[in-house]
Amino acid sequence: MIALVDEKIENYATTHSSQEPELLARLARETYESMELPQMLTGRLEGSFLRVLVRAVQARRVLEVGMFTGYSALMMAEGLPDDGRIITCEVNPKSAEVARRYFAQSPHGHKIDLRMGPAVETIRALAGPFDFVFIDADKENYPIYYDLCLERLRPGGMMAIDNVLWSGYVLDPKDEETRAIVALNDKVLRDNRVDNALLTIRDGVMLAVKK
Ligand SMILES: C[S@@+](CC[C@H](N)C(=O)[O-])C[C@H]1O[C@@H](n2cnc3c(N)ncnc32)[C@H](O)[C@@H]1O
C-alpha cells in the first residue's frame, strides 16, 4: 500500500487520536509478526475513527465485512454499549483463530459474532436493520456488498468503506480490483439514497449516510 498522506502528518494524526488499548497493540504486533499482508489491518488512526463513528451514530448493531485478525471489530466493539453487537464476516480460518484468541481476552469480545464463509452469502442471510456498516473485504465484490448492506442499513445509519483510493490507482485503473473500487465510488456518488464524502484517511474511506 502506497502512503497517500505524508508520513510525519500521519504519525501526528495517529498520536493525537485516542490511545490504542494495550490488547490491540499486542494484536497488531502479532499480526505483523505472523500473518501474510499484515498491512490489511486498519490500525490505530482508522480504528479510532471507526470507534468514534460507532459512538457518534449511537450504534447498537454493526455489520463488518472483512474481519482479518479482528482489530477493527475490537475497535468498533469498544464504541458499542454492553448489549451492542457486531456481526463480522471472514473466510480465512487462520485469521479467525487469531481474532478469536483476542476476542476472548477483551472485555468487549462478547459483542462480536463471527460468521465464517463468503460474505455475500452471510449478508444475504441477515436481516437488518444495522446502525453502522464497515466494508473492508475483497474489492471485486465492493459494489455488491454496498447494495446488500445499504438495504440492511437503517435510515440515518452510516456506512464506511475502506481502501477506496487504493494507493491512488483509482486515478488510472488497470486491473479488476481497481475497476471495482472505481465502480463503487461512482455508484455511491450517483446514489440519491445516501449523502456521501470520500475522505483521504489512510488508503481512503468512503462515508455514506442513508437518508
Ligand atoms: C483488509 S482485510 C480486513 C482488515 C480488518 N478490517 C482489520 O482492520 O484488521 C480483508 C479481509 O477480508 C477477508 N475476505 C476476503 N474475501 C472475503 C469474502 N468473500 N468473504 C468474507 N471475508 C473475505 C480476508 O480474508 C481478509 O481477512
CB 149 within 8 A of CB 130: yes
pTM for the whole structure:
0.98
Q: 19: which DSSP letter?
A: P
Which mutation among 53, 90, 112, 121 tests ligand 1's pocket best, with the greatest number of atoms within 8 A of CB? Answer: 90
In the three-class reduction of DSSP (H, G, I as helix; E, B as strand; rest coil), residue 199 is classed as: strand
Q: Is 135 in the pocket of ligand 1 (CB under 6 A)?
A: no
- How does DSSP assign 132-163, residue by residue? EEEE-S-GGGHHHHHHHHHHTEEEEEEEEEE-
pLDDT tens profile 26-63: 999 999 999 999 999 999 999 999 999 999 999 999 99
pLDDT in tens, 114-144: 999 999 999 999 999 999 999 999 999 999 9
Place of cell 455511491: 188
User: Cα(74)–Cα(47) distance, rounded to whole angstroms?
Assistant: 9
pLDDT, one tens digit per residue, over 16-28 is 999 899 999 999 9
Closest residue (by CA) to atom 7 of ligand 1? 41
| Protein residue whose Cα sits closest to atom 9 of ligand 1 | 41
Residue 38 Cα distances to 27, 30, 68, angstroms: 11, 9, 9
Q: In what order do the strands lie in the sheet with 85-90?
A: 112-116, 85-90, 61-65, 130-135, 153-162, 205-210, 194-199
Q: What percent of the chain has pLDDT over 70?
A: 100
The rounded Å distance from CA 6 to ligand 1 centre is 26
